[in-house]
């Protein structure tokens, strides 16, 4: 069974303008490394060794320059293009067109997830449906999910 990680790095980054006028928000340094490293580490700690990054065509060269084919991280990195910010489901679809995972974990490239053993490869082997994992934070936002999904807190 082909398992992998999908790392979503699209969108305009309008809340971070004017910085995002010249750099993709996922490449902006946070402390001592680009923001995408934090999300990538979530997938690495979950045991994902095949990762597909979805990004805008204008940013792909910058992502490839930073991450390459993944050899530096001990993984295989593939790239998929999303021509317009058409939402998470469209981005996942684009990634699956390239990588054809049977099971996958999707992580947003601008989210920080902390905690040891938050996600593991066993998570994918154990569950058969869609799961949305959420953690509490100060700002309240509406969360929607597929009827088959189970909210894990």
Q: What is the pLDDT of residue 2?
A: 85
pLDDT beneath 70: ranges in the chain: 113-153
SS3 25: helix
Strands 29-30 and 33-34 come out as antiparallel
Q: What is the pLDDT of residue 118?
A: 57
Q: What angle do helix axes 60-67 and 35-45 make, rounded to 10 degrees?
A: 60
Tens of pLDDT, residues 15-47: 878 878 888 899 999 889 999 998 898 888 888
How many Å apart are CA 36 and CA 33, to the nearest integer? 8
Q: Please provide residue 131's backbone torsions phi and psi, each rounded to the nearest 5 degrees.
A: -130, 135
Per DSSP, helices labelled H in the chain are 35-45, 60-67, 88-99, 121-126
């Amino acid at each position: 069974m082909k398992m992998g990680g999908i790392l979503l790095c699209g969108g305009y980054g309008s809340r971070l303008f004017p910085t995002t006028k010249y750099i993709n928000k996922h490449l902006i340094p946070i402390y001592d490394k680009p923001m995408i490293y934090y999300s990538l580490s979530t997938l690495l700690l979950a045991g994902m060794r095949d990762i597909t990054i979805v990004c805008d065509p204008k940013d792909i060269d910058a992502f490839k320059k930073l991450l390459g084919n993944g050899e530096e991280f001990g993984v295989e990195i593939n790239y998929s293009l999303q021509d317009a910010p058409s939402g998470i489901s469209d981005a996942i679809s684009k990634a699956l067109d390239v990588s054809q995972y049977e099971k996958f974990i999707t992580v947003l490239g601008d989210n920080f997830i902390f905690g040891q053993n938050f996600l593991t490869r066993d998570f994918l082997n154990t569950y058969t449906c869609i799961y949305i994992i959420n953690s509490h934070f100060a700002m309240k936002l509406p969360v929607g999910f597929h009827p088959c999904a189970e909210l894990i807190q």
